[in-house]
Structure 1
Amino acid sequence: MFELKHIKEPVLLFNHDQKVTDPRDGLTLFGPFNKNKINNFSIGIIGTDKGIIRMKKWIARFLKPMQPLKKDYAKPFYPGFETIFGVTINLNSTIEIKVDENKLNEYYRYSDAHVRVANMVNLYVDALVEYKTDDDRPPVNLWFVVIPDLVYQHGRIKSKGFGEAIKIGIKNKYDRVNPGLFDEIDPEYAKLKECYLYDNHFHNQLKLKLLKHEVLTQIIRESTVAYKEDEFLKKNREPKRDLSKMETDIAWNIATSTYYKIGGLPWKLGTIRKDVCYIGLVFKIDERQKSNKYACCAAQMFLDSGDGMVFKGAVGPWYNEETKEYHLTKDAALDLLSKAIQSFKKSNDQNIPKEVFIHGRTQFDNDEWDGFCEAVKDLEIALVGVTIKDEKVFKLYRDKNFPILRGSLFVKDDNNAFLWTKGFIPRLQQPLGMETPNPLTIRITRGKGNVKIETVCQDILALTKLNYNSCRFCDGLPVTLKFANVIGDVLTAGTLEGLKPALPFRYYI
């Protein structure tokens, strides 16, 4: 018999242990979960002269309340950064690093995309690394990396140079990646070859290069903070973005991300079970390998506290030609989960988790699962493998004006269910997304214990509310998979040499 159930919207935990469903309601009424726990922090701004001025102007506004242009449940009133989080940003003591705009204007014209993007990235990275390694300078907790819109426009894969081209680069693909006679003789030639070790994507390359130095950044386009400036909007060279209607939305997102990156915890899940951790597996093809069988694997572990760690897995031939899927070997799976458990113990006074849920896009093969089981051998840990996929065929329609409710659940059997993480949200009086919402296919494919499919779906719905990089009501995917492509793109954007074994999630977003 067809029976549609509904999971109550998961609540979030804020200051004074207050629980509400909307993060903006909770932050406005009660403040962040660990309010008054952050005392000393500093920020820095790196950008062009105009970029720094624009960012400082916007920060001065973003510290104060902002009213939306019209009443909109999805874009509510913004009380101000200081009011919400109980901390402030002293613009008089903000560290500033100026980027040479003339050099950027030259790099825009480089004909070779790899060389163009690498030079733009290094202009920022070299300055930030030099600042951090200089002991005489005060430490900076978070850098606002303010980029001109032309950097965004010409710093992406398939982007082209701007204006009259400057011919530069190495045409022969073999010479780009293989040792040559001129490598030691000509340092400039060797430096040119390094450009091809990285993807020509500004965001991913910058994040990867700064991961190795543990520098926290928030990348912001100038048009995101300068949308009210007439001079900016009239410029023909810069893309026009009228974001005035999104002002409070932008403020909420940047405020939450900033607080999280300086060490704060905006909220916790109010319904999550204690001593449970969730791991999302990421596989991303490494384009620099000669065979497409090679991919980079990483695991994202999220604790019941809400924080997350990313574990770098080795690049290997994980592709299975029979299943057309990527899977770890037994040893690689053992190593990955062992690292995750050790990290959990480190964050929880040497206690081990009671349950570990591994989320993936594909089923786990026998060797892979044997490795995971080996990691929890002789430990009292219930290990469960869950496959989460976007459902393309099955849909449900309501005989009403609005689509199906978010949180709707159709249980097929003990191990399979359809879960609607998108749909109509009563608090916002609108659905998440514009199209008819598709469910996620949830399947328990491996594991032991008495876990029920309803419990698994409740956890997944709750994990859609853990995106600290924005301040949305929820996402359509759980956080274990939401940033899978983002993290995978960062880890495969270049060489992983020198990368730390495990870093908090805040370094990647």
Structure 2
Amino acid sequence: MNSGDRNEFTLRHLDEPEIEFDGGSETSPKRGLLKYGPRLYESDHHTIKLGVIGDRDSIRHLSELLHDMNTGIHPGSRDNPWQVPFPGLGESSKINLSINDKKGWRRKIRRRDIKTVTGESTPKKRIETFLELIQTDIDIIEQDSVRPSVIVVCIPQRVIDACTPDRQDYAKIQYGGQNQEEGSDLRSRIKLMGMNARIPTQLIKPETLDMRTDRQRASRAWNLTVGLLYKSQRGHPWKTQQIEEGTCYAGISFYKQRTTDGNIARAALAHVFHGRDHIILQSDPLPDITEDENGSPHLSYEAAKSVGEQILDYYERQLGTRPSRFVLHKPSLYWDEERNGILDATDGVRDLDLVWIRRNPQIRVFPPTDYPTLRGTLFSSSNEDTHYLYTTGYIPEETTYQGSGVPAPIEIRPDRICETQSLKLCKEILLFTKLDWNTSEFSVRMPATIRVASRVGDVLSEVDTESVVDVQPQYFYYM
């Protein structure tokens, strides 16, 4: 390589962003909840009204976990300070929460029900039979004079075994082939049932309730509490003050909605404004999606313009004004048609930032220590304006790396249509890895703009043209 062709690289570490709780800020969700309590919307104490659907064993295991959650769970010793104890629930709880799971909100999946499911001849029929059982139970719970705020659905292991096709693992219980119209995802279908009933759902698999150590029990307790709280009070338990007022952030993901004649391509949009919430938008049908050589979808000019207009129209309806800055995160490069469509849609917006975020770039940074790369490490190629950000890695505040294997960065590339400095864009993306309220973990790998949009697409792909589903914009129905 000639000296004139050499690229210049910079290596820096970004400060860990803080998140806001009820009375203070912290870098860790667990420590923040323990110190200050969650953001509550109605009173100083919140009761989660919990409906439960499950078989005998799963209801028993869940009841045991809820009992432990009431008394508190200490996960480890002083040698593991990052393992934050679960403080317990109840009127005197440090996190100001209780759980009410009265028997009237419980529906038992009986042995004869499971036998009916497993007796069907194909995975497709077994899934449909099981879904009919769940729909009946949700309908009965929904009719209670005082409805629960969340329904937990515990899926029995025999149902998982019976509904999982050969050569497919338990991570995604789905029948059918590779074509989208042939498959149906069990989790997404139950999410849509809850959406129709206006009761968010929480799915639990048997391995989640199979806890051998206090560390596992504390981890399950924290994650379950955070997810149930967000769904129960219909609002996030922490927020951030670091998002500038007047800035609209959005992420885009693509999915195919099944129809009787084939597939309709759509975009799922996770829309964040002023740190309030993830607002979910479903695009109009997109007939002109093109895939590149890597299989990544791209929009036509008309589709890109429509997507941009839809986001900004919703922002203006909610806040009464158009944003002064619009940031769009996308998991693939921007083509000219997409760029031009979004430019025309955002006419009048002062600053437009188009950013490509890729999950698995082929680059790693190895520090000269025995520790993994620090979360927040940013490795930048100045000449190409390409940046590799470690959103996972060793966390000094936690004195640990909680992942498995060698941590890997995500790739961030500002488009040529981008007004904001790259360093600021990377700092914002690091912040968004702390704004997924489906977990109590320190952070997640992908920013919420992309991560949420992808999850939403998984659920909305199950809404076929024959379904009667009133699609809702709130993220808690999808998580």
| Bin for the TM-score computed over the shorter chain | 0.7 to 0.9
Cα–Cα, structure 1 residues 381 and 93, in superposed 2: closer, same or farther, change >3 Å? farther
Deviates more, 1:466-475 or 1:210-219: 210-219
Q: Once the two structures are superposed, what CA deviation does each residue of 1:405-424 show, in whole Å capped at 9, x if it has no partner?
A: 11111232384222121221
For the Cα contact (< 8 Å) 1:153–1:159, is it kept in 2? no
For the Cα contact (< 8 Å) 1:68–1:247, is it kept in 2? yes
Q: In 2, distance between residues paired with 1:104 and 1:314? A: 39
For the Cα contact (< 8 Å) 1:344–1:352, is it kept in 2? yes
For the Cα contact (< 8 Å) 2:463–2:469, is it kept in 1? no
The alpha carbon displacement at 1:52 in A equals 3.4
Confirm or deny that 1:154 pairs with 2:124.
no
1:224 to 169, 192, 208: 208
Q: Once the two structures are superposed, what CA deviation does each residue of 1:333-361 show, in whole Å capped at 9, x if it has no partner?
A: 3333333223333443x233222211111
Confirm or deny that 1:62 pairs with 2:94.
no
Confirm or deny that 1:455 pairs with 2:461.
no
Q: In 2, distance between residues paired with 1:84 and 1:365? A: 51
Deviates more, 1:204-213 or 1:139-148: 204-213
Find the residue that maps to 1:405 and give its secondary structure: coil
Q: Which residue of 1 aligns with 2:349?
A: 380
Confirm or deny that 1:339 pairs with 2:310.
yes
Q: Once the two structures are superposed, what CA deviation does each residue of 1:12-61 show, in whole Å capped at 9, x if it has no partner?
A: 11111x12111111100111133736757632122234443443333232
Q: Which residue of 2 aligns with 1:112?
A: 122
Confirm or deny that 1:34 pairs with 2:37.
no
Give runs of aligned pairs for residues 114-153 of structure 1, distance below 5 A. Answer: 114-132=124-142, 134=143, 137-153=145-161
Deviates more, 1:455-464 or 1:73-82: 73-82
For the Cα contact (< 8 Å) 2:324–2:350, is it kept in 1? yes
Q: In 2, distance between residues paired with 1:137 and 1:490? A: 29
Q: In 2, distance between residues paired with 1:439 and 1:381? A: 31
With normalisation by structure 2, the TM-score equals 0.85
Deviates more, 1:454-463 or 1:80-89: 80-89
The runs of at least 4 aligned residues of structure 1 exceeding 6 Å deviation read 287-292
For the Cα contact (< 8 Å) 2:375–2:392, is it kept in 1? yes
The alpha carbon displacement at 1:492 in A equals 1.7
The alpha carbon displacement at 1:381 in A equals 4.5
Q: Which residue of 2 aligns with 1:493?
A: 462
Find the residue that maps to 1:423 and give its secondary structure: coil
Q: Which residue of 1 aligns with 2:183?
A: 199
Cα–Cα, structure 1 residues 318 and 84, in superposed 2: closer, same or farther, change >3 Å? farther
- Any unmatched runs of 5+ in structure 2? 1-7, 169-175
Q: Once the two structures are superposed, what CA deviation does each residue of 1:169-194 show, in whole Å capped at 9, x if it has no partner?
A: xx9x9xxx9xxxxxxxxxxxxxxxxx
The alpha carbon displacement at 1:322 in A equals 5.7
Letter in 2 for 1:106: T
Q: In 2, distance between residues paired with 1:387 and 1:210? A: 33
- Any unmatched runs of 5+ in structure 1? 161-170, 178-195, 229-241
Q: In 1, distance between residues paired with 2:388 and 2:207? A: 40
Give runs of aligned pairs for residues 193-272 of structure 1, distance below 5 A. Answer: 199-225=183-209, 227=210, 242=212, 244-262=214-232, 263-272=234-243
Give runs of aligned pairs for residues 386-465 of structure 1, distance below 5 A. Answer: 386-413=355-382, 415-449=385-419, 451-465=420-434
Confirm or deny that 1:477 pairs with 2:423.
no
For the Cα contact (< 8 Å) 2:298–2:335, is it kept in 1? yes
Q: Which residue of 1 aligns with 2:333?
A: 363
1:81 to 86, 89, 96: 89
Q: Which residue of 2 aligns with 1:236?
A: none
For the Cα contact (< 8 Å) 1:155–1:200, is it kept in 2? no
Q: Which residue of 2 aligns with 1:327?
A: 298
For the Cα contact (< 8 Å) 1:408–1:419, is it kept in 2? yes
Q: Once the two structures are superposed, what CA deviation does each residue of 1:172-218 show, in whole Å capped at 9, x if it has no partner?
A: x9xxx9xxxxxxxxxxxxxxxxxx97734321221134334433111
Q: Percent identity?
A: 22
What is the number of residues matched between the two proteins? Answer: 457
With normalisation by structure 1, the TM-score equals 0.81
Q: Which residue of 2 aligns with 1:24?
A: 30
Cα–Cα, structure 1 residues 383 and 94, in superposed 2: closer, same or farther, change >3 Å? farther
Q: In 1, distance between residues paired with 2:38 and 2:46? A: 14
Letter in 2 for 1:481: I
Q: Once the two structures are superposed, what CA deviation does each residue of 1:57-111 show, in whole Å capped at 9, x if it has no partner?
A: 3323212311114453443211023424313223447622333431222212323
For the Cα contact (< 8 Å) 1:309–1:502, is it kept in 2? no
Q: Once the two structures are superposed, what CA deviation does each residue of 1:458-503 show, in whole Å capped at 9, x if it has no partner?
A: 0000001112111001111111222444322222235154333542
Cα–Cα, structure 1 residues 286 and 41, in superposed 2: closer, same or farther, change >3 Å? closer
Cα–Cα, structure 1 residues 355 and 64, in superposed 2: closer, same or farther, change >3 Å? farther
Q: In 2, distance between residues paired with 1:64 and 1:342? A: 47
Cα RMSD of the aligned pairs, angstroms, is 3.1
Q: In 2, distance between residues paired with 1:197 and 1:391? A: 28
Letter in 1 for 2:279: M
For the Cα contact (< 8 Å) 2:52–2:101, is it kept in 1? no
Q: In 1, distance between residues paired with 2:82 and 2:161? A: 29
Q: In 1, distance between residues paired with 2:58 and 2:203? A: 12
Letter in 1 for 2:238: W
Letter in 2 for 1:81: L
For the Cα contact (< 8 Å) 2:49–2:101, is it kept in 1? no
